[in-house]
Structure 1
Amino acid sequence: MAAEQVLPAPKPLNQAPWFAPVRNIVILLVLWEVAGRFHLVADGALPSLTAIVERFWADRADYPAHVWSTLVSSALGFAIGNIVAVAAGILFVLSPLAARLFRGFNVTIFAVPTIAIAPILALTMTGISPRVTLAAMGCYFVTMTATVVGLTQIDLRSADLVRAYGGGKWDVMRFVQLRSALPIILAGLQVAAPNAVLGAILAEFGGGGRWGLGIYLLGSLGRADPPRLWSIGLVATAIAGIAYFIFGLISARVTGASKAVTMTTSLPPAGARTGGQWPSLAVAFGSIAVPLVLWWAFIKLLGVPEMIGKTPWGVIEYLFFLPLSQQAQTRLLDAMGQTLPITIVGTFAGLAAAFALSVSSRLVPNFTRALMPVALFSQTMPLIATIPLFVLLLGRGWLVTLIITISVTFFPAFITLAQGMKMTPRAALDLPKAYGAGAWTELKLVGIPAALPYLFAAARLTVPRALLGVMIAEWLATGKGLGNLLNQSRGYLDYGMIWTVAAASVVLSVALYQIVVLVERRVLANMGMRGSE
């Protein structure tokens, strides 16, 4: 008689993979309701969930037009930005010279604080164009970078096979690189989707108009109605979160059956990176010139009046060659002196929080899982919708700026660091275990040093976000720094200062980014590793 098959006993409910996240979310919602119901946080600045739902239901007739306007702008910007990003990524892989020439432009797009250019787009463009443009800019760098990484991290043997049959660069691109890059490109689209929503809302907030969640939020700030602010913020979060998870599902559906067999982590040869015979100095000069030429072309092609649209020379003239230039310099330097310190402190604090959370994810996994719902919430909630809520809770002092900066930087940094620690070779981790080392010793000797390149990548990622968070907090809450100077300049119709603040914030952000790159190269070179190119 055949032996009876013994089925494994079913796991208890509390061991199901979905149980812990659902439990944590329920606990969080209950605590939120209790704190709001009894005014335990900031004397009612945190309303109960039921009060938020009641306010949303009372205002339900207002939302369709606002939500539709934001969705249209976000969707158009998402489509345009990602089409340009994928095309640019393909161009940069096929032409290393183009990649080097557009490096300055790419870093500028990545580092530009979007709140700084929202008023400029509103001055120079009409209709929903500013919203679409800012949404597209929010998508470009993420998807372009994902495309380049996906197209370069391929199985070299497959490319060699295509070449052996007479295929050229485009054949390798079509048959090998694009197919290999699809999972990474889809991951980039997933991250870009909330960015498009944030870009559209920022443009609505800074550019005026009648419809849009940013406009609705701005119009509700002075009404002392926390439930309405929270309901608008949660609706914006829901839109961004749904977009994020939709592309997550598409990615899983399309690539779920795909498994990577081999992957190279090497960079292209040095000759390919420098553009062959082109002198490095000429390429570096071209990289700096491209953003300035595009800036000048933007003004001229749109036919913006000279009084409103300032070219690079117009900004220099405003700062140095006009009767009031000295006063403009003083105002700008004072504002930068207020913005820069809190940006640096917030960046370090955000990185420290991300580092602590990534270490805890290895040492105390259950604790990290308990925090993940809050972390995901902070990732998908548009920044412009978050800050008024922080102001309600913390007031308008420096603390609110610091907390906002930490909140917008720690989650992307945490994801980057956690990924680095997960990619540590198992064999390297087994060695200290063989000598009886504990989990902390294993991390200290192997995991953390191996994740050092990812720490610098997280720093490069968070510096521009930190400056953006500080400037929006200054605009809405503290009345100081570059954000407040930009807001005041809009009110005074001081177009020269608007363009100057935008240019200064971009230069400041790019400079901080490049400082991180230089430190990264020096530290990793001393350790025998390779930094960012």
Structure 2
Amino acid sequence: MANRAGFLRSATFRNLAILIVVWEIVGRMNWIAGGALPGLGEILIRLWADRGDYPGHIWATVHASVLGFVIGNFVAVSAGILFVLFPTLLRLTRGFNIAVFALPPIAIAPILVLTLSGMAPRITLAALGVYFVTMSATVVGLSQFDSRAADVVRAYGGKDWMVMKLVRLRGAVPDILSGLRIAAPNAVLGAILAEFGGGGRWGLGTYLLGSLGRGDPARLWGIGLVATLIAGLSYLVFAIISARTLGSSRSVTLNTALPDAEDGAARPLALRLAVIAGAALLPFFLWWAFIKATGVPDLIAKTPLGVLDYLFLSDTSHVARAKLFAALAQTLPITAVGMVAGLGFAFLLAISARMFPGFIKTFMPIALVTQTMPLVALTPLLVLILGRGTSVTLWITISVTFFPAFVLLVQGIQRVPQSVLDLP
């Protein structure tokens, strides 16, 4: 009871209450884009009216998200362990890993829907959405271990696998959990994107697609908030686990040892060139193999040679290049500005989280909503509010850049040993 009374008197509760009241007034008065942002009360009323529609759609989305999350993270953690034990394998697959991360889900979703059946496209896209984040966090966590503890294990006859089991995996838990916190909303987004273009009956993405043409912003916001709630809860689960395990897995004092530098010059030149060539060619080989194995027609997906022909060898290649460069000229400047702004904002907020905990408690719910509301649900709403211009693109770019960087920065700051903070 005392905790509840304390929360009701806190600045966090006061600020959230003010935000809700302002939202309700702005929505009721139709001050934003003629009613594109309804009041919270209108959204909740519409949610209640549509309550019979949601259980089947929510179950379909959660089912695909959970399966994709489990499969993707199992592969990611396993790959991270192998990459740390065998660094050459990491260098060999670097091009593939970057390609998986950089591949736009909105572009691959239709191909997966056409080549796979049933729940497979949703599960696959959810798994792809979580793989790179968790794999990278695993590699970073396993690489930045306390070498003093590893020396103790080796002194008692332990091999690399025992060091991995007793030292590296234990020390990597906070980093892996940070990756899972970011990956969980990505799994929901991947499943909804596949539903959005999958033509199925069930799923929040399907429900959203069917509601876009009805001119009912309250329903669209309701679907978006339900998706946000699912993604936000998945984030909070791993945030709570991370907070409870951080103290038992970090060093009490600063480890003065530095990780071993990558000694590329010690390897034969032929091996280094082979690894570089393999890293560059592996993504293209897997791309070609996937298309050939699934039998996707050229009209839907081209092989690497098909893309080369389209851009450089065909009679109309100059037209294709002109269109591509024109599109890049529009996209790259906004991308650069949004990335710099998002990273800068994340850095400032991460520092503020350490210096002003009360401020960050108020800001975090807003930041969590902007991150966990799937873009496929958020984008139509932002277009209604901001229009089809540069501002909506810049907003989305800042949003997707800010939150992952913020989570990783805060996690890194929290792992600083207390003995370092106590230094004058």
The reply to whether residue 338 of structure 1 matches residue 330 of structure 2 is yes
How far does the alpha carbon of each residue in 1:137-168 deviate from its partner, in whole angstroms, 9 at most, with x for none? Answer: 11111111221122222222332233333332
Contact residue 252 and residue 419 of structure 2 kept, 8 A = no
Contact residue 151 and residue 178 of structure 1 kept, 8 A = yes
Task: Report the alpha carbon displacement of residue 331 of structure 1 after superposing the two structures with TM.
Answer: 2.6
Query: Against the structure 1 CA distance between its residues 306 and 402, is the aligned structure 2 distance closer, same or farther, given a 3 Å change threshold?
Result: closer
Task: State the match for 2:186 in structure 1.
Answer: 195
How far does the alpha carbon of each residue in 1:86-140 deviate from its partner, in whole angstroms, 9 at most, with x for none? Answer: 1101110110100111111122222222222222222332222221111111111
Contact residue 96 and residue 275 of structure 1 kept, 8 A = no
Q: Secondary structure at the match of 2:118?
A: coil
Q: What amino acid maps onto 2:259 in structure 1?
A: L
Task: Report the alpha carbon displacement of residue 371 of structure 1 after superposing the two structures with TM.
Answer: 2.3
Instruction: Kindly report which structure 2 residues correspond to 1:47-446, keeping only aligned pairs within 5 A, or say none.
Output: 47-253=38-244, 257-262=248-253, 264=255, 266-271=258-263, 276-277=267-268, 279-358=271-350, 361=353, 366-417=358-409
Task: State the match for 2:34 in structure 1.
Answer: 43
Q: Secondary structure at the match of 2:259?
A: coil
- Which consecutive unaligned segments of at least 5 residues does structure 1 have? 1-9, 435-533
Looking at structure 1, the residues matched to 19 and 45 of structure 2 have their Cα atoms a distance apart, in angstroms, of 19
Task: State the match for 1:33 in structure 2.
Answer: 24
Query: Against the structure 1 CA distance between its residues 60 and 380, is the aligned structure 2 distance closer, same or farther, given a 3 Å change threshold?
Result: same
How far does the alpha carbon of each residue in 1:421-449 deviate from its partner, in whole angstroms, 9 at most, with x for none? Answer: 77789999999xx9xxxxxxxxxxxxxxx
Looking at structure 1, the residues matched to 220 and 284 of structure 2 have their Cα atoms a distance apart, in angstroms, of 39
- Percent identical among aligned pairs is 58
Query: Against the structure 1 CA distance between its residues 70 and 97, is the aligned structure 2 distance closer, same or farther, given a 3 Å change threshold?
Result: same
Looking at structure 1, the residues matched to 57 and 4 of structure 2 have their Cα atoms a distance apart, in angstroms, of 45
Task: Report the alpha carbon displacement of residue 304 of structure 1 after superposing the two structures with TM.
Answer: 3.0
TM-score (norm 2): 0.88
Q: What amino acid maps onto 2:258 in structure 1?
A: S
Looking at structure 1, the residues matched to 76 and 195 of structure 2 have their Cα atoms a distance apart, in angstroms, of 23
Looking at structure 2, the residues matched to 371 and 181 of structure 1 have their Cα atoms a distance apart, in angstroms, of 28
Query: Against the structure 1 CA distance between its residues 131 and 18, is the aligned structure 2 distance closer, same or farther, given a 3 Å change threshold?
Result: farther
Query: Against the structure 1 CA distance between its residues 323 and 96, is the aligned structure 2 distance closer, same or farther, given a 3 Å change threshold?
Result: same
Task: Report the alpha carbon displacement of residue 192 of structure 1 after superposing the two structures with TM.
Answer: 1.2
Looking at structure 1, the residues matched to 291 and 209 of structure 2 have their Cα atoms a distance apart, in angstroms, of 28
Structure 1 stretch 252-261 or stretch 118-127: which is displaced more? 252-261
The reply to whether residue 24 of structure 1 matches residue 1 of structure 2 is no
Q: What amino acid maps onto 1:390 in structure 2?
A: L
Looking at structure 2, the residues matched to 412 and 307 of structure 1 have their Cα atoms a distance apart, in angstroms, of 36
Query: Against the structure 1 CA distance between its residues 389 and 81, is the aligned structure 2 distance closer, same or farther, given a 3 Å change threshold?
Result: same
Q: Secondary structure at the match of 1:42?
A: coil
Looking at structure 1, the residues matched to 85 and 286 of structure 2 have their Cα atoms a distance apart, in angstroms, of 22
Contact residue 178 and residue 407 of structure 2 kept, 8 A = no
Looking at structure 2, the residues matched to 261 and 424 of structure 1 have their Cα atoms a distance apart, in angstroms, of 9
TM-score (norm 1): 0.71
Task: Report the alpha carbon displacement of residue 306 of structure 1 after superposing the two structures with TM.
Answer: 4.6
Query: Against the structure 1 CA distance between its residues 66 and 105, is the aligned structure 2 distance closer, same or farther, given a 3 Å change threshold?
Result: same
Query: Against the structure 1 CA distance between its residues 363 and 75, is the aligned structure 2 distance closer, same or farther, given a 3 Å change threshold?
Result: closer
Query: Against the structure 1 CA distance between its residues 48 and 295, is the aligned structure 2 distance closer, same or farther, given a 3 Å change threshold?
Result: same
Number of matched residues?
421
Task: Report the alpha carbon displacement of residue 348 of structure 1 after superposing the two structures with TM.
Answer: 2.8
Alpha carbon RMSD of aligned pairs, Å? 3.1
